[in-house]
Structure formats: C-alpha cells, structure tokens
Structure 1
Amino acid sequence: MTISLMRFQDAFNVSSAYVSKSPETEDMTFRIIEAIAVRILQQDCHMCSLQELLARVQALMLFKVIQLFDGDIRQRFLAEQHFGILRAWTSHFQSRSNDLEATLHEWVVAEIVRRTIIFSLILDSLQSTLKLGYCTNVPILSILPFTPEIEL
C-alpha cells in the first residue's frame, strides 16, 4: 500500500469516526485524531513525492478543521500548535509544484495543488483571525493563481 493511500485512508477513518461520534465515544475519537495527526506530523516531507506531500497536506488540513471548529478547547489548542508545520509543508508544496502543467494530467494535478494551497492558506487565515482578530495572509491570498473557469 502506498503512503499517500494510507494518508487518504487515515483521513477517511478520522472523518467517519468524527461524524459518528457520540458523547460516549468523543474522547476516543479525539485520541484517534490526535494519534494520526502526530504520526503524520512526525514524518519528514522534504524527501517525499509530490503526491505523498499532497496527501499529507490534505489529511492534516482535515484534522485541523475538525480540531479548530469542534468547540473542544484541547483540540483547538492542539490544532494551533501545528500550524507552523502546515505553513512549512504548504510552502514546500507550492515550490515543488511550479514545474507542472506540461500535459493535461499535470495541469489537473497542478490545479489540485493550487486549490489545496489556497485552502491551506484560508484555513491558516481563519485561525489567525480567530486568534488575533485579523487575517495575516491577505497579501499572499491576493496573488495566488488558480483557474476559475467552470468548464474546466
């Protein structure tokens, strides 16, 4: 099984556990989210493929959304602790994706990458707005390229 498939399975499992959590299973659900997030965060992303980095960034974003917006104070604290890593991975991800778009397949991958970067920066912006009262990423968000055509 490839590592990127494992990340997608982790994201699916966490989503399923979170959606079906009850007051009785909430602690266990959060422990699962924390354990998987820590496992992903402990791995070095500088040597992984673009596909693996995409899977890790997307899985980490999902975990951060759950942790930030659930309302549990511990989960929000944990989410805030790892935004530096998400920023670094997003930046690394962005620099590695600049050479794509030679073929249709590469264009599709590049568009997925661009939209993942945009979502990551928006998530970081929401977090900074909640914590500081203002968005710290406005200059970066205003210059990010993506293809808005619905037909594509």
Structure 2
Amino acid sequence: MRQRILDAYLAREESWEEIAKRFQVGVATVDRLIGRWKRTGTIAPRRPGPRPHYRVPDSQLSKVKRLLDAAPDSTTQEIADAYAKATGVRVSRPTMGRAFRRLGYTRKKVVPRLRAAVGEEPPGPQGVFGYGRPTEAHAPPLH
C-alpha cells in the first residue's frame, strides 16, 4: 500500500486528502510517508520494537551508593549528573531512581524551610529530595 500511495503522489493525480480517502488512511499517514520518502529516499517501515530499557549495571551500583552517601540531600537529577561525570555514561532521572530502589534506598522529602533554617539555599520549584538509608521493613517507630 505504501508503494501505491507514493505512486499516486508521484502521478500528481490527487491531493493528499483525496489520496488518503482513496486508500482509507489518514492525511497524516500520507504526510509521514511522503515526508519519509523525501528525507530518506525510502518508504520502508522504520525498525519495529520498543526502545531499550536502560539500567545502571550491577557492577556500577557501588559508585551510585558512594555518590548518594557523599551527598544524601542531592536530587535524583544531581546524582545522575554526578554519575555521568564519574563514569562518562549519561542516565535519565528515572533510571537513576530505579538504581536507588535496587540499592534499597527510599526517597524522603526534605522540608524546604528546615534546609533554609540551617543556612542552605531554599530549593527550586521541583523541591529537594534526600534519600534514607536502606530499611529492613516499614515498621512503626518505637516511642
């Protein structure tokens, strides 16, 4: 069908809307197909499949742990940036968060006014998150 749509376009017989109606596809589909042909010279479908799931390798988790222990009040993005600087491998914030969970760390919110009370700058609009030590279980506190 891709070839027939392209042939109809090249014959200049119909508008894109008419081509879409004739082949029972959307105008956007005709637009993407012709655009791909103009950019790449091919109408072959793109490689199928999902994007790969990125993960911090188990061998690198000790580096993540050292970065967390050195700066426990850092944001997830700050640790991801420090990891990229240390290893040369950039990872996303969600990927770094998954690495924290694999290490057993839990996220805890640091109240901005408490940070400001000890002389630190208040956080930006996204807030500041610290990471607690790994826990055995979520048991109630002892009083």
- Where on the TM-score scale, by shorter chain, does this alignment land: which range? under 0.3
Question: Which protein shows a greater Rg?
Answer: 2
**Structure that is richer in helix per residue:** 1
**Structure that is richer in strand per residue:** 2
